[in-house]
Chain A
Amino acid sequence: MGTGLRTEGATNTLDAREVVARRGDLFALRLDALSLAPGEALMLAGPNGAGKSTLLRLLAGLLPRAEGQLAFDGLDPSNDIRAYAARLQFMGHKDAVKNAFTVRETLRHWTHVQGVAVDAVGALAAFGLGALADLPVGYLSAGQRRRLALARLVAVPRSLWLLDEPASSLDAEGRTALAAVIANHRRHGGLVVMASHGELALPDTRVLTIGSGSA
C-alpha cells in the first residue's frame, strides 16, 4: 500500500489518454484525452445515457478500464486503488444516507470510515444544515438529504471531486452553497469533474461533451 506506484504525471494532475470503458457488450465509452490541473473544473455534458456516470465511475476507479491510461497525482487506480481512492471523493447520484441515523451520526460515520477521525459537524453549516444536526435522516426532504451528502465534501478533505449531478433536487440557495464550496475547493488547488445539465453556474469551467472526444 503506502503511497503506491507513481508512474507518470505531474503532482495533483488528472491525466487520461485513450481510455475505453465497457459495460458488458452493450455499451462502450471512449475518451481520447483528458488533462485537468489543480484548480481546474470540468463539466461533463451530454444527453441522458451518453455515459457521464460511466466516465465518473471510471475516473473514481470503481469501473475498470478496458484500455488506455489513467492517472491522478501519478497514481494508477488499477495498480493501487486505495492510494488512488484516498485522493478523491466520488459522489454518485444516490445520497448514501440511512433513515435510521441522525444527520450528525451520518456525517460522523462518513468521516471515521474514510479514516478522518474528526466529527466535522462544522461541515453541516456550509450547506445550512447546522440546525438539523440531531434530526433523523428519515425526516429530511430530498434536497436536505442531498445537502447532507454534499456536506461530506467539506468534512473529508480530498483533492479530486467526482460529482454526478450534484445539484439535483437542490433549491436555489443549495445551488449557491454548492457553487461556493466548489469555488473554495478550486481556490485551494482542488480539481472538480462534474456531470451536470447546467443547473449550476460555475465560472471558468471547461465543458466536455461526452461522445465528442477530447477536452
Chain B
Amino acid sequence: MSPGLELIRWELAQAFRAGGSGPMAVAFFAAVLTLVPLGIGPEPALLGRIAPGMVWVAAALASLLSLERLFQGDYEDGSLDALALSPLGLYGTALAKALAHWMAVALPILIAAPVFATLLHIEPQGIAPLMIGLLLGTPLFFLIGALGAALTLGLRRGGLLIALIVLPLYAPVVIFGVSAVEAAATGAPSAPSLMILGALLLAALVLAPPATAAALRLHLE
C-alpha cells in the first residue's frame, strides 16, 4: 500500500474507533438540524426558505468539530516528526489527512443531507444542487480547516482559534452553496454557483496543502 493510502486508511481507522470523530460529526449535524424546526416552528414555507442555509451551516460547524485534533495528536506523540521524514513529507501528510477527515466526517453528512433536506421542506428540485454543492464544498472545509489546524497547533484552546480563523474563509463556500439551491427553487440555473464552488475547490487543492505544510514545518523546528 502506498504511503498516502496507508495514512488515509490509518486516519479513517482512528476516526471510527472509540472516541473517533466520524460518527460524532454526523450526529452533531443531525442534532442541529433537528433543533431548527423546534426553534423556528413547523411552518413548511418558512422552513423551506431557510433550510438550505441551515444545512450548509450545520455541515460547516460539524466539519469544525474534528479539526482541532487533525494534527494535535500526531504532534504530541511524535508521529508528526515521522510523517515529515516519510516519503509523504508534510505536503503529502496535509493532503492525505484533509482527505481522510473529509471521508470520515463529510461522507456520512452527505448521506444524511437528503433526508434532512426533505424533512425541512427543501423543494425537490433543490436537492440535486444541494448534494452537488456539498460534494464540492465540504472538501473545501477540510482543506481550509487543515491550514487553520496547522497554524494553531500546540495552542491551548486551539479549537476556538481555529473557528475564528477558518469560519470567515468558509463564508464564500456557504454563500455559493446556498445560492445554488435557491436558484433551483426559483427556476434559475444553479450551474454558475456550482462552478464557482468547483473553482474554489481547485484553488484550495493547489494552495492549501503547501500553506499547511509550511505552517506545520514551523512547529517542527
Binding site for B on A (CB under 8 A): 23, 57, 60-64, 81-82, 85-86, 88, 90, 92-98, 100-101, 105, 109-110, 112-115, 117
Contact = CB atoms under 8 A, between A and B. Distances in A.
Contacts of A100: 13-14, 17-19
A90 B2 CA distance: 21
B84 A62 contact: yes
B1 interface: yes
Contacts of A96: 77-79, 81-82
A200 to B, nearest CB: 20
Interface of B: 1-3, 6-7, 10, 13-14, 17-19, 73, 76-79, 81-89, 220-221
Given A86-B87, A90-B85, A114 B3 contact: yes
A167 B82 CA distance: 19
Contacts of A112: 1, 3, 6
A115 B3 contact: yes
Contacts, number: 74
B220 to A, nearest CB: 5
Nearest to B88: A113
A85 B17 CA distance: 31
A90 B89 CA distance: 14
Which secondary structure dominates where chain A touches chain B? Answer: loop
A115 B77 contact: no
Contact of A97 (B6, B10, B14, B77): B77
A82 B89 CA distance: 7
A57 B83 CA distance: 14
A110 B82 contact: yes
Contact of A113 (B10, B76, B220): B10
A94 B77 contact: yes
A114 B83 CA distance: 8
A115 B87 contact: yes
Contacts of B19: 100
Nearest to A92: B78
A141 to B, nearest CB: 16
A95 B78 contact: yes
A109 B6 contact: yes
Contact of A94 (B10, B78, B86): B78
Given A62-B85, A82-B89, A114-B86, A98 B3 contact: no
B84 A115 contact: no
Given A94-B77, A98-B77, A85 B85 contact: yes
Nearest to B5: A112
B209 to A, nearest CB: 15
Contacts of B89: 81-82
Given A61-B85, A62-B84, A109 B221 contact: no
A161 to B, nearest CB: 12
Contact of B81 (A81, A90, A117): A90
A52 to B, nearest CB: 16
Given A63-B221, A98-B73, A100-B17, A117 B1 contact: yes
Which 8 residue pairs are nearest across A and B when measured between Cβ atoms?
A: A94-B78, A112-B6, A96-B78, A85-B85, A115-B87, A96-B79, A100-B17, A113-B3
Contacts of B79: 96, 98
Given A81-B89, A98-B77, 14 more contacts: A23-B221, A61-B85, A62-B221, A94-B77, A96-B81, A96-B82, A97-B77, A100-B14, A100-B17, A100-B18, A105-B13, A113-B88, A114-B82, A115-B2
A182 to B, nearest CB: 19
A82 B86 CA distance: 7
A60 B220 CA distance: 11
Contacts of A82: 87, 89
Contacts of A93: 78
Nearest to B81: A92
A113 B85 contact: no
Given A82-B89, A113-B6, A113-B86, A98 B81 contact: no
